[in-house]
Every structure is written in C-alpha cells, then in structure tokens.
Structure 1
Amino acid sequence: MQSKAWIAGCAGKRLSADEKAFFADERPFGFILFGRNIGEAGELRDLIAELKEIGGRATTPVLVDQEGGRVQRLRPPLAPSYPPAAVLGALHAAEPEAAERAAWLTGRLFAFDLAAYGFNFDCLPCLDLHVGGATKAIGDRAYAAAPDVVARLGGAAARGLAAGGLTPVMKHLPGHGRATMDSHLHLPRVEATRAELSASDIQPFRALNDLPAAMTAHILFKDIDATAPTTLSAIVIEDVIREEIGFDGLLMTDDMSMKALEGDMGELSRRAIAAGCDLALHCNGDMAEMRKVAGAVPELDGKAALRAEAAEVYGPARLEPADEAALREDYARLTSLVA
C-alpha cells in the first residue's frame, strides 16, 4: 500500500472510529505520539500495534520525542528518567571519551525503552547549538556550544539508537540554536550571516549528513531567505540542507501546527512539499487540520519514497543484541561523574 507524504498525530490514548477510518483512507507514512497519547503500558502497546496495522506493515514508523530532561514523552514507570543533553556536554568538558560512551549508552537505553512498546523512530539527536541569550526552547536540550562536541555526542547517541533497532531523526536543520523566540509560539528570525551559520550552526549537521532522517527548523534566516522560514523555503532546503550540508536523507517538517507558521494548513503543507520537504509532520491530532494536510500532500513517490524506505529499515538493519542490565550499570557509573 503506497503511503502519502505526511506523518500524523492522534488525539488520545485510543483511536476513535473516525481516526481509524481517516488514517486508513489517507495513508500517512507514519505516526507520532505525545504525552497525551501515553497511557498504561498495555494501552500504549495496543495503540502502537493498531497504528502499525493501519499503516499496513510491521515497520510502519511510529515516532516519539525522547531526548531526556524536559523532552521525554515516556516517563516512570514506563521508562526511567534521563538527564538532558547538556549533562553529557558537561561530562565531555571533563572526560570526552566517557561522555561519548555515555551518549551512545543514552541512545541504546532509549532504544530498549522505546522498542518495548513498539516505537521504531526517535526524534534524536538534537544537534542545535547552545547559544547564550537564545530562547530556552532549546536550552539544555543542546549538548554544547561547540559544533564539534555537538556532532561527537549527537553522533554517538544516534549510533546507540540504531544499535537498538531504532531510526534516529536529527533536528532541527539547519540549526535552531540562535532563535530568540519559541517557534511553538512565534516565528523566530535569525540575523546571523550565512557565513556565520556555515562556520558554526551548520557544522554538526554536515558532520552527520549520512543519518537517515531529519527535521526542519521553523526559523527564518534573513541572510539566506528573507521571505520564508526553512520549512517553506526552497532556497534553504536546496542550497543549504541538500547542497551545503549534503543531507540526502528523509526530510520532514517540524510540526506544521506550530504557531511559527501562519496560514491555511493545506496551503502550508503544499508549500512545504513544494519547497523540498519529503514529509509534512502534523502532531496535534486535530482532525480538521489533519484533513487539510492529507488533502494537500501527494503520494510518496520518486526520491522521497526511496528516502522514506531507507529510513524505515535503517534501525532494524543495525540492531545488535546487548546486555541491558550491564549497559544500565555502565550508564549509571558514567553519569554519576557529573551528578
């Protein structure tokens, strides 16, 4: 069954009859879950199994944002609490090799946690730089201020996820760190020149351009395209993300329902696909909005379909058996160094 070029959210812990029928008809490539969708363990497994059944294949992508710290959709008792990325950055300042190992372990342990319920994509690593004076929407979600450290730790986390059978989704291309507004609420406008961005913010994404999937930033970079944010900008997507960064993997939008984007949801979705995004990601579960997204996006075809297929099998192809208890013990030892 051919999918359409979008990823859908759902409203609650169970699918309604309307949602089941709608998703079966409109065939999203995958689904994404948030805190509102996370019930008891059995409920969550049942929900994910039902989404995959609707998707028509065992590998139907079911995404989640599991970063640690503030952005952790699964919490105790469903999964342990983890520190934010900045803690690994602090460890790197003292013991770089220990930090890289801890970052790998974070990804690998996330994979144990998430795969137990049926998740197969994690929207990690967050490769945005920590920038003083910027919005706290990123804040301690950033590993560090230095691009090379962010690339090293983010790359280790991505490899850990893949070793656990999950597909990593790096975010937010070409960099969210300089935003002075929260894109959930407003459209950030970044004044930095393209040369400044190339020398810093873009570097972690370029270093990890072979990862299978990525998410755009709803940010307007005035020196690159003064008229459209990344998600809607062919200039940023083609010239920066595809050419300069060299990323040829699956590119999805950040959540189309965020307030950074203004306008009709269908028209916004058409513009995102026309600009070069492979998938429109819609997260809030609002049926009226989802109908507009689904009605605006095309069938997954051509390069976009090949990228989607590659991302879907990326994690499962790299699954390596491991001793979970031993890895958790190692992780606890390493993270205690910065406790």
Structure 2
Amino acid sequence: MRNIVKLMMVLIACTLLSLLAGCSDQRDKQQQQQDEQQQEATPIEHISASDKQNEEIQAVLHHMSIDEKIGQLILMGVEGPQLDAKAKAFVAEQRVGGIILFKRNFDNVTQSLQLINALKEANIQGSTPLLIGVDEEGGRVTRLPQELVKTPTNRYIGNVAGGEFSFDIGELLGDKLHAFGLNMDFAPVLDVDSNPNNPVIGDRSYGANPQIVSAAGISQAEGMKSRHVIPVVKHFPGHGDTSVDSHIDLPVITHDKKRLDEIELLPFKQAIESGIDAVMVGHLIVQAYDPSTPASMSKPIIQELLRDQLHFDGVVITDDLIMGAVQKNYSIGEAALQTIQAGGDILLIGHGYEPVQQVLTALKNAVTSGELTEERINQSVERILKLKMTYELDDTQRDNIDVDELNRQTKELLEKMKTSEG
C-alpha cells in the first residue's frame, strides 16, 4: 500500500513538473511572439511619424485661401536695410511665403537683426513661418555684415585636402545664418568649373572634377542641415560650361546627354541620392533636353529630368527672375506661370516690388481662367510646407549675436585649412 501511495505521489509530482514546464514553454513562446510583433511594428512608428506630418500639412493647407497658397510660391527681395511699408504688406497681407536678402539689406549686425525680426513680426498672423534666405557661398559671394569674417571660396575649399573641410564650412555657415534667424542658404554651388572663360561661376565652383564638386558640395550641405539651415544646391542642370552670364543674357549649352550625365548632372544626381531637399534651377538653354525653353521654366527639364528621371521630390526654386536671361525673352508673369506649369515650386523675385505684384496677379488670373489649377498649386504648397516642417522652422526672433565667437570659429577653421595646405 505504501509503495502504491509513493508511486502515486511520484506520478503527481511528475505531472505537476510537466505542467509547470509546459506553462514556462508557453510563456516563452508568448514572449517570443510579442518580441517578434514589436520588431515588426517598429517600421509602423516611422510611417506614423510621416503620416502625422502629412496630416499637419493637410490641416494647414485646408485653412489656406487660394491667395495664401499663391503667396507661398513667392520668395521676394526687400529694397533696403529697414522693412518698408510695401514689403511689410506683401508679408502681412498677401502672405508671401519667403524672403531673400542681399548685400543692400545688411549694413551692420544690429540693423540686420532688426530687419529680420521685423520680417518675422510682419508674419505673425501667417499660417506658416517665413523662409528667409541669402546667397552666402563664401568668397566673393557673401551677404552678411562686414563685422563677420568671411569664409573662403569654394575653389579653395575644394583644393585643400580634396574638400576635407567642406562639412566644417557648412556647419560654420549654418551657425552664422542661424544666429541671425536666417533659415535658407542658396548654396552650395554644384556647377563644375569646366570652362575657364565662364564669366559667372569660376571660383564659386569647387573645381573641374565633378566627383570633388559632388563630394564637397554634399558634405557642405550636410553641415548646413545639421544647423537647421536649408541648403539649396544650384544651378541645375549645370552652369559651369557657359560663356554667357545669365544675369545679362540667356546661355546655351550644346553638350549631348552622355556628356551632361558624366559631368554637369553628376553632382546633382548624387546630391539628390544623399537626400537634398531643395534645388535651384538656372536660366539656361540645355539643348539636349529642351532646345527652346530655359531650364527654369522647362517641363522636360524640371518634371521629366529632375523629378521623373532623377527622382527628386523636394522643392524646386528658380534663379532670380529679375535677370537678363528672363527679362529679355519673357514677361515676368509669363515666366512665372510657365515655371509652375513645368513643375517648379518657388519663384524667386529678388528686385523690385512691382514684379512681385505682377506675378501674384498673373497666377491668380491663371487660376480664374483655368490655365492653372488649385490642385497643381497644392502640390507645390505641400512640398514647401513639408520643407518648413522638416527643418522645424519658426519665426522666433533673435535678441543678439555673439560676433566674437563666430569670428573665433571662422579664424580657427581657416587656420586649420591653411595648415593642411602644406
């Protein structure tokens, strides 16, 4: 009898152990399944973040009038060192979405800060922050006040250690612009310096080797992006081998597609692959793609080449429409409408207030007549809003700028570059 009892106890114990082991195995399987489900869910979080941004964009877009949407397509110049009534009205009332500042707008650091703050104040009722940009390339193309030590030319940057310091230059430019409350730089230049007689590019290019131009330009752009400053690469599809200055007249490029692909287009292709968010298109005829229309307003170049073939889905900005290449051949309203119809997003009008009004009127009339649809305008506004949100732009005003610190950083970097020359 005792043996039977013992045997039964052993059997019960074994059964309990088996059940416990089974529960443990079940718990392990459940935990494994949960871990696998969590790993599978991780990409959904990224999708949700993208969806959230898109929801925000659609919410802003929904509350915009057609006039506000058209205003987002304009990036205009201001005439002097102070914000005048006309410029203020364009921002506060017509909801112009962006401003470009030139040397004429920067007398000194204090005045410059006041002007930029005044622009932001004018936009206080705006649906979205202003884009406020400059051509701060370094070398001979610099806009910031003279109190700041300039950065060197791109040619120098490209020549020193194969462009090794280009990221540092980008960071520095980003720090300078961010200190003023600026958020966009029409740089870096990705034109390949393949024509020694080029009257407009020259030392603005990193050099004659497209790989160096590409690597240095992309690295400099990354430096700017790290400081929440939007780099705008230029001048697509390549202004390096021209003998005419587009500020004066319309250059013509006669190279075939193979040559363009290997030289002019290569830096832009690689910049797009690296994730660049904004491209400036130049006023030049590129016969291999469009024998009659400037690239800046050409559908074969903007839509078919840049967007469809090179897969660029960011913001396309024209070079300044107040240039001889455009003015000698088109009315500004005609040029603006053709640019948007071709797939462009932002119209840069750097000089004069009357041309800004002419463009706004031309676009509004085109919508009324049916030449331009609100759907097409929405596509551009969505890209612009996405750009502003991605870089976390706001209209926060700056109180002061530590010029000494910025100059210390610049001098220190210049000294490192000089040492590396040897």
For normalisation by structure 1, the TM-score amounts to: 0.90
Q: 1:280 to 1:165 in 2, by over 3 A?
A: same
Match of 2:360 in 1: 294
Contact kept in structure 2, 1:161 and 1:315, CA below 8 Å: no
- Say if 2:194 is the partner of 1:131: yes
Match of 1:219 in 2: 284
- Say if 2:99 is the partner of 1:38: no
**What is the one-letter code of the residue matched to 1:68?**
G
1:250-295 Cα deviation digits (max 9, x unpaired): 00100001110122111111111111111111001x1211111222
Match of 2:260 in 1: 197
- Say if 2:138 is the partner of 1:51: no
Match of 1:320 in 2: none
Task: Give 1:237 deviation, angstroms.
Answer: 0.9
Paired residue secondary structure (1:26): coil
Q: Which moved more, 1:39-48 or 1:220-229?
A: 39-48
Q: Hey, what's the Cα distance between the residues in 1 that align with 2:392 and 2:359?
A: 29
Paired residue secondary structure (2:288): coil
| Counterpart mapping for 1:1-339 below 5 A | 2-3=68-69, 4=71, 5-55=73-123, 56=126, 59-77=129-147, 79-91=148-160, 95-96=161-162, 99-100=163-164, 102-209=165-272, 210-261=275-326, 262-284=329-351, 286-297=352-363, 301-316=377-392, 329-338=412-421
Contact kept in structure 1, 2:170 and 2:223, CA below 8 Å: yes
Q: Hey, what's the Cα distance between the residues in 1 that align with 2:258 and 2:204?
A: 25
**Identical counterparts, % of pairs:** 30
1:22-81 Cα deviation digits (max 9, x unpaired): 33232222100001111221211111112223333684110100011110111420x211
Which protein has greater RCO, CA pairs closer than 8 Å, 6+ apart?
Answer: 1
Q: Hey, what's the Cα distance between the residues in 2 that align with 1:72 and 1:57?
A: 31
Q: Hey, what's the Cα distance between the residues in 1 that align with 2:411 and 2:294?
A: 41
Q: Hey, what's the Cα distance between the residues in 2 that align with 1:235 and 1:179?
A: 20
Contact kept in structure 1, 2:196 and 2:202, CA below 8 Å: no
**What is the one-letter code of the residue matched to 1:122?**
D
Task: Give 1:327 deviation, angstroms.
Answer: 7.7
Q: Hey, what's the Cα distance between the residues in 2 that align with 1:265 and 1:146?
A: 36
Task: Give 1:126 deviation, angstroms.
Answer: 0.6
Contact kept in structure 1, 2:107 and 2:145, CA below 8 Å: no
1:188-223 Cα deviation digits (max 9, x unpaired): 011111221012110111101121111101000112
Q: Hey, what's the Cα distance between the residues in 1 that align with 2:203 and 2:340?
A: 31
Paired residue secondary structure (1:31): strand
Task: Give 1:331 deviation, angstroms.
Answer: 4.7
Q: Hey, what's the Cα distance between the residues in 1 that align with 2:409 and 2:334?
A: 50
Contact kept in structure 2, 1:212 and 1:314, CA below 8 Å: no
Off by >6 Å, runs of 4+ in structure 1:
none
Q: Hey, what's the Cα distance between the residues in 1 that align with 2:336 and 2:121?
A: 25
Aligned Cα root-mean-square deviation (Å): 2.1
Task: Give 1:326 deviation, angstroms.
Answer: 6.4
Structure 2 residue ranges without an equivalent (≥5):
1-63, 365-373, 394-404
Q: Hey, what's the Cα distance between the residues in 1 that align with 2:198 and 2:143?
A: 21
**What is the one-letter code of the residue matched to 1:139?**
G
Task: Give 1:297 deviation, angstroms.
Answer: 3.4
Q: Hey, what's the Cα distance between the residues in 1 that align with 2:186 and 2:378?
A: 24
1:122-170 Cα deviation digits (max 9, x unpaired): 1111100011244230000000112211111001111111111211111
Task: Give 1:236 deviation, angstroms.
Answer: 0.9
Task: Give 1:110 deviation, angstroms.
Answer: 1.0
Q: Hey, what's the Cα distance between the residues in 1 that align with 2:196 and 2:207?
A: 14
Paired residue secondary structure (2:234): strand
Larger radius of gyration: 2
Paired residue secondary structure (1:211): coil
Q: Hey, what's the Cα distance between the residues in 2 that align with 1:136 and 1:337?
A: 30
Contact kept in structure 2, 1:212 and 1:310, CA below 8 Å: no
More helix by share: 2
Q: Hey, what's the Cα distance between the residues in 2 that align with 1:243 and 1:108?
A: 31
Paired residue secondary structure (1:255): coil
